[in-house]
């Protein structure tokens, strides 16, 4: 179903039935009608409750069928046990959409999960689209539909709200309270909203469905997501793709970021993926901007709908207080932004209109005195015109209730030119006058440094973002796919290496030796010195049983090693199936890295690269991306690692073949994508990266087929 079109009548219904309506305003079901009417809902309202003949002057109906007129949306606020029957009546009466406010379903556990399953089955059977249960409803500004009990939408007579601009933000939240909290905080900053929806338990309509709707909605300029988990990854990714394609920014607050990974994994690749690796990879691919808390989420959204995107991450700070400017500069630098010292010529130009005790370096301390003579706006104009910085942050006090020494009209003209992002931070609590002045110029006002820094970082990230090109998925080879399907009992390293090589992954020369008598011939074909490793699909971690020998330089050493590892395997893993030993040439020196893939149960295969060998567990310096990636994106993954300087030649060492490593990462990602239903995880660890032009060597392979 095309959710982008099917929910138009959900958000803009011409007639609403409130099932369970009550005149008791102290109860949730008694708040629904007053909030709908108080926000000016223009359509028809039908209270439904057999206990009342009328509610607040509206005729109250004993049942939905008794209304005798079309209804687009039903709000259901009755005991959980009665909800299913009410939904059946909705479907029979031709109602297309329902919001279940009632709680007491899957969130309660036990038999109530079954009741929610019945709701889901009813939706599929009848086509009735359902939000909830256990939802806080929604608010649609243009249609004036406050289908919720949230106090955030209560009318405030006589209030003159701030309005910064006409760009509207849509909110989708898997927590009703947090969704309307984001709306409440955003309105305090003067932001405008299109829709705010809480998804509840998502028996039918999910966060992905509403995300998809807002991605296509012409009234929505940016989207705020509050998610705990994605129940329909395909729909969520389709929505993220649509938003990226249309240049519509998305800010996401993902809960549970400290939850330990729940995968039972045999490899470092999986054990380090944790709870959020797939989410972070999805966010990166489609340009979703992560927020740490509600204030940062609102600050990022505000910056995105009021500012042009910067060309880079260079920021100038203009301040009336040296201390506040320095503190702001520290916060911005801590968020990864650059604060370059201004050129002598620009410093001289600024210095001509500020006191001698000020500073024109960056932060630009114009001092409080210069504000009185127009120095603030002159500094902003100069910085707006220069190519030396990409964005401007103004730091000042807006505490005064009676006077603000800023020319509002001149500021508005600067903002209207949209030369580069301009953000204001008040280091004192701002007065309503100060907020109103900035709102009139089309600017929001920051009162905390962390959200400001997060917003500036997000602007820079968004400025760098390029929507992903539609890629043709890699095609699997029939022989490799057949071998993976047959590998129900696991794969030895040799078998895994053969499959990877057939699929186009660069693997080193190797020989499987099943009998002691074949050692000499294999050694002659490969050349000494050699590594020798026990081979068994039942022994994924060979070193744990002493099943690896390195640097074997003579035939005698080779035979002794063979006898030792076979004996160790039979003693310590007597039930293991032994395929023999694997011989590989010893790799030349280099830096150890790890390359791998893991199949996320929801979002599919991820590719991973990071510091390898003993550093894998010690530093957990890894990067995950959705598979597949090309060599260019793989190179960007490598550049983002803390270990990147080692690859470039740290402290005089020769630069390493980072391009070859990037190609290997891309090859593994293509393998993971091509065989996404057949492979659970791949780990190449360590991969030794040699000097530039000499490639890299895979020294150990683990491939785990998917369980079927």
Span 591-705 CATH architecture: 2-Layer Sandwich (3.30)
Q: Please name the CATH architecture into which domain 512-585 falls.
A: 2-Layer Sandwich (3.30)
pLDDT at 266: 41
CA–CA gap between residue 375 and residue 354 (Å, rounded) = 7
CA angle 126, 127, 131 (to 5 degrees): 115
Task: Name which residue leads in pLDDT, 68 or 613.
Answer: 68
Q: Are 567 and 499 in contact (CB under 8 A)?
A: no
The whole-angstrom separation of Cα 636 and Cα 24 is 60
Phi-psi domain of 213 (left: phi exceeds 0; alpha: psi -120 through 50; beta: other): alpha
pLDDT digits (tens, 9 = 90+) for 527-564: 999 999 999 999 988 999 999 999 999 999 999 999 99
The per-residue pLDDT for range 94-135, each reduced to its tens digit, is: 999 999 999 999 888 888 899 999 999 999 999 999 999 999
Considering the chain, what percentage of its residues have pLDDT values greater than 70? Answer: 96
List, in sequence order, every residue forming a beta bridge with 222; answer none if it has no partner.
169
Does residue 624 have a pLDDT over 70? yes
Supply angle C-alpha 168, 169, 174, rounded to 5: 155
The pLDDT value given to residue 641: 95
> What is the per-residue pLDDT for 264?
36
User: Quick check: do 3-301 and 310-460 share a fold?
Assistant: yes
The residues, any chain, with a CB within 8 Å of residue 188's CB and separated by 6 or more, are 162
Angle made by CA atoms 135, 137, 141, in degrees to the nearest 5 = 155
Query: What does the pLDDT look like over 392-430, one tens digit per residue?
Result: 999 999 999 888 778 889 999 999 999 999 999 999 999
Report pLDDT digits (tens) over 175-203.
878 999 999 999 999 999 999 999 999 99
Cα–Cα distance measured from residue 656 to residue 706, given in angstroms and rounded to the nearest whole number: 34
Residue 1 has pLDDT above 60, yes or no: no
pLDDT tens per residue, range 337-385: 999 999 999 999 999 999 999 999 999 999 988 888 889 999 999 999 9
Please spell the DSSP secondary structure of 405-429, one letter per residue.
-S-HHHHHHHHHHT-S-EEEEESSP
Please give the CATH topology (third level) of the domain spanning 310-460. Rossmann fold (3.40.50)
Which one, of 151, 130, 133, lies nearest residue 31 by Cα?
A: 151
- The CATH architecture of the domain made up of 3-301 is 3-Layer(aba) Sandwich (3.40)
Give the residue extent of every domain in the chain. Answer: 3-301, 310-460, 512-585, 591-705
Model confidence at 471, pLDDT cuts 50, 70, 90, reads confident
Decide: 319 and 367 in contact? Cβ < 8 Å.
Answer: no
Render pLDDT for 424-464 as a digit per residue (tens, 0 to 9).
Answer: 999 999 999 999 999 999 999 999 999 999 999 999 999 99
In order, the DSSP letters of 473-509 are PPPPPHHHHHHHHH-TT---HHHHHHHHHHTT-----
Alpha-carbon span 395 to 426, nearest angstrom: 6
Per-residue pLDDT, averaged over 467-480, amounts to: 90
Residue 269 has pLDDT above 70, yes or no: no
Residues in CB range of 505: below 8 A, 6 or more apart: 664, 667, 668, 671
Q: What is the mean pLDDT of residues 668-695?
A: 96
C-beta of residue 13 within 8 angstroms of C-beta of residue 72: yes
pLDDT of residue 3: 57
Question: Which pLDDT does position 2 carry in this prediction?
Answer: 56
Average pLDDT, the chain: 93
67-92 burial, b if ≥16 CB within 10 A, otherwise e? beeebbbbbbbbebeebeebbebbbe
């Amino acid at each position: 179903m095309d959710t982008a079109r099917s929910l138009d009548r959900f958000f803009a219904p011409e007639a609403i039935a409130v099932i369970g309506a009550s005149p008791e305003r102290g109860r949730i079901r008694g708040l629904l009608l007053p909030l709908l009417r108080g926000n000016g809902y223009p359509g028809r309202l039908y209270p439904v409750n057999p206990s009342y003949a009328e509610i607040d002057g509206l005729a109250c109906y004993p049942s939905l069928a008794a209304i005798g007129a079309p209804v687009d949306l039903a709000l259901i606020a009755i005991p959980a046990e009665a909800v299913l029957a009410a939904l059946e009546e909705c479907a029979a009466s031709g109602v297309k959409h329902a919001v279940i406010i009632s709680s007491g379903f899957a969130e309660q556990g036990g038999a109530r999960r079954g009741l929610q399953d019945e709701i889901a089955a009813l939706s599929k059977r009848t086509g009735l689209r359902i939000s909830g249960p256990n939802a806080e409803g929604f608010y649609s500004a243009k249609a004036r539909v406050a289908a919720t009990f949230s106090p955030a939408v209560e009318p405030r007579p006589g209030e003159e709200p701030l309005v910064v601009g006409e760009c509207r933000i849509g909110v989708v939240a898997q927590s009703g309270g947090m969704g309307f909290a984001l709306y409440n905080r955003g309105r305090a900053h003067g932001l405008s909203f299109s829709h705010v929806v809480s998804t509840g338990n998502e028996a039918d309509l999910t966060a992905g469905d509403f995300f998809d709707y807002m991605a296509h909605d012409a009234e929505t300029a940016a989207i705020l997501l509050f998610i705990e988990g994605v129940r329909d990854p395909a729909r969520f990714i389709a929505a993220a793709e649509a938003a990226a394609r249309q240049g519509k920014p998305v800010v996401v607050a993902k809960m549970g970021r400290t939850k330990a990974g729940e995968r039972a994994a045999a490899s470092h690749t999986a054990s380090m993926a944790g709870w959020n690796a797939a989410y972070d990879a999805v966010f990166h691919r489609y340009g979703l901007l992560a927020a740490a808390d509600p204030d940062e989420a609102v600050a990022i959204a505000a910056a995105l709908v009021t500012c042009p995107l910067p060309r880079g991450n260079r920021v100038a700070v203009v301040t009336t207080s040296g201390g506040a400017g320095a503190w702001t500069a520290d916060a911005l630098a801590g968020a990864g932004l650059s604060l370059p010292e201004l050129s002598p010529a620009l410093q001289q130009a600024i210095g001509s209109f500020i006191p001698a005790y000020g500073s024109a370096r960056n932060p630009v301390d114009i001092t409080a005195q210069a504000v009185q003579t127009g120095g603030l706006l002159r500094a902003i104009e100069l910085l707006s015109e220069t190519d030396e910085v990409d964005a401007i942050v103004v730091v000042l006090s807006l505490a005064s209730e009676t006077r603000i020494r800023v020319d509002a009209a001149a500021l508005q003209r600067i903002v209207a030119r949209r030369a580069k992002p301009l953000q204001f931070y008040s280091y004192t609590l701002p007065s309503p006058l100060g907020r109103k002045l900035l709102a009139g110029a089309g600017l929001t006002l920051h009162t905390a440094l962390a959200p400001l820094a997060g917003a500036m970082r997000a602007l820079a990230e968004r400025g760098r973002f390029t929507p992903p090109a539609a890629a043709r998925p890699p095609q699997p080879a029939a022989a490799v796919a057949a071998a993976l399907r047959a590998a129900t009992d696991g794969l030895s390293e040799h078998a895994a290496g053969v499959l990877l090589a057939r699929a186009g992954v660069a693997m080193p020369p190797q020989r499987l030796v099943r009998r002691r008598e074949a050692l000499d011939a294999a050694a002659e074909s490969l050349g000494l010195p050699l590594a020798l490793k026990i081979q068994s699909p039942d022994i994924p971690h060979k070193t744990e049983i002493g099943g690896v020998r390195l640097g074997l330089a003579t035939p005698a050493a080779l035979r002794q090693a063979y006898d030792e590892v076979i004996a160790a395997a039979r003693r310590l893993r007597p039930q293991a199936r032994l395929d023999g030993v694997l011989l590989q040439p010893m790799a030349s020196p280099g830096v150890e890295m790890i390359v791998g893939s893991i199949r996320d149960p929801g979002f599919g295969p991820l590719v991973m690269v990071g510091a390898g060998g003993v550093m894998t567990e010690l530093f957990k310096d890894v990067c995950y991306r959705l598979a597949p990636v090309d060599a260019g994106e793989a190179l960007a993954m490598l550049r983002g690692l803390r270990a990147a300087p080692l690859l470039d030649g740290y402290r005089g060492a020769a630069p390493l073949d980072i391009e070859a490593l990037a190609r290997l990462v891309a090859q593994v990602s293509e393998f993971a994508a091509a065989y996404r239903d057949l492979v659970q995880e791949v780990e190449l660890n360590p991969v030794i990266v040699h000097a530039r032009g000499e490639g890299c060597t895979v020294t150990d392979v683990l491939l785990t087929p998917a369980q079927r």
